[in-house]
Amino acid sequence: MNKRRRKFAYIITTLVIGLLNIGCAEKQPPNVQIIIPETNINQDTTIGSLVEVFSPTVIPVEGYSVVGGLDGTGSAECPLQVRNYLQRYLLSKQQDLDIEKFITSKNTAVVIVQGLMPTGGEKKQRFDVKITALSGTQTTSIKGGWLYGVNLKSPGTFTITTRILADAAGPVFINELGQENVNPKTGYILGGARMLEEYKITLALRKPNFKISNAIRNRINELFGTEIANAVSESQIELKVPQKYKGQKQKFIEIVKATYLTESPKQTQQRISWFVRKMATEPDKKKSETALEAIGKKSTEKLSALLNSSNEQVRFHTARCMLNLGDDRGLDALREMTADKNSVHRMGAIEAVGAAAKKNDAVAMARNLLNDDNFNIVLAGYEQLRKLDDIAIEEEVIARSFSLEQVVAGKHKTIFAARSQRPKIVLFGTPLYCRDDVFVQSPGGNITINAPQGQNYISIIRRHPTKPTVIAQVKSSFEISDLIRKLCEEPLKEKQSGSGGLGVTYDDVIAILKQMCEKGAVQAEFELGPLPKIDLIVKR
């Protein structure tokens, strides 16, 4: 929109807001004082003014278990209390296991597992956990190991009868990139833990009252669907997150708090005018947006006047609110921001379109982002396409350990490696190829990738980490996806046919890919995702 049109739109918007002010000249919604019988609650009361909300965003969890698959770097030491617990736990999983031999083997190590379990998602939502070999033991490394399984409970409570909050299992990831001093006795299980139940939101009435408790329950169920709210007592209401707000638990809570307990047509229109005016004029636009979304689709007619505002912040909150209420008139304004490289609301607009627009509109927006110059924007577009299960992304599981994803669309040639939530390597701008004259060794020197000039395949050799002997050797094509498969797929067992791999771990393969990009063996950029945010510190 050019400056002349924007100026004209601003004049029109100002006139509309002026008419709203004339039609509702009060400085705030009038307090009609219509009393709900036997409750002493007037019509201007919001649910948030009556309750306290109890809903932790994360819950600390921990447990003890065993990492196996180590090459003599484990230890036999284990505190008696932990040993007794593990014996009962492991026997419950595999009755014919020789527990004593298993725990005392040099190829296993007892570890403490810690995590911050999110409570905003659905049952079985996955999250990262941190694992650490017990102090005071002779374990020197858990690299290359596999966490056999663990029951995660509240910290300090690890008896068999304690309530289980989550469980976890999977390959150990040790971050060796970007660190000078790597601790091989500490690692992560990326996305390896899962919640075992969905956590409800609790509303606690400040003044217990059965009639008010039931009124709140009825109002929430009226707006969000039956069985969302349950009044369990005169002072407590339990909420489930509706399907529309899955993954947006905090937003749902804010909308519930902003919901008026009762409504009448006249009062609703007055409230809409009030909050539209505040959206246009006051700094805290998120509060007005939440209030209007709580009122519902009735807000969109008066709200739509602000789509022509000269203030981008007003347009953003207006457009997002309307789209969340099912009104596509906000889509064009958000599209404009997703394409504007100078917009401060660009990422917010991308998330809004991805979450609330029709699938075809969201896919079209996300695909366009794959050609952006900013890789963070490219990554945001990719994430939206993954959520939408778009055909632009091809996915396969490698060695039961991580995902290999290929993004065909887009101009970027980039290898992205995730280090939290879910282990995955994403190849942007596929197919990606290695050049035909390459010699690269892994940081530890035990993996060699070699293709002399003129050779029509890549030789991959894996040597023993402490002995000068070759463990295995395989061939790969020059396509990076094939190279990754040959590096990481499990070796063939006796009498198996086909072509196996070298069993290289996820942390090792991303280190190799980084080195190949940096040395020019692959004409692509290399990008790393952030590490897990686990701030638990437990002294043992």
How many whole angstroms separate alpha carbon 15 and alpha carbon 13? 5
Burial of 150 from C-beta contacts in 10 A (0-12 / 13-18 / 19+): buried
Residue with token string 């971050």: 175
Is there a contact between 231 and 51 (Cβ–Cβ < 8 Å)?
A: no
Query: How many CB atoms sit inside 10 A of residue 140's CB?
Result: 16
pLDDT at 466: 66
| Best CA proximity match to 113, nearest among 68, 64, 76 | 64
pLDDT at 491: 84
How many whole angstroms separate alpha carbon 210 and alpha carbon 218? 12
Question: Which residues lie below 8 Å from residue 174, measured CB to CB, with a gap of 6+?
Answer: 142, 143, 182, 184, 186, 187, 188, 507
pLDDT, mean of each 10-residue run, the chain (540 residues): 46 42 41 44 84 91 93 90 87 80 92 91 88 93 93 81 90 88 93 90 94 95 93 94 88 96 90 96 95 96 95 97 95 96 96 95 95 94 94 92 91 93 94 91 87 92 75 91 94 69 93 94 95 65
The one-character DSSP state at 522 is B
pLDDT at 71: 87
Question: Which residues lie below 8 Å from residue 279, measured CB to CB, with a gap of 6+?
Answer: 285, 288, 289, 292, 303, 306, 314, 317, 318
**In the chain, where the domains are located:** 3-30+263-357, 35-55+199-258, 58-195, 389-491+500-540
Residue with token string 């950029």: 525
| Best CA proximity match to 484, nearest among 449, 452, 444, 526 | 449
Amino acid at site 420: S
| Best CA proximity match to 415, nearest among 505, 486, 503, 509 | 509
Q: Do you know the residue count of the chain? A: 540
pLDDT at 536: 54
Peptide bond into 184 cis (omega under 30): no
Question: Which residues lie below 8 Å from residue 422, measured CB to CB, with a gap of 6+?
Answer: 126, 190, 191, 402, 403
Coil, helix or strand at residue 381: helix
Give the pair of three-digit tokens for residue 88.
């009962």
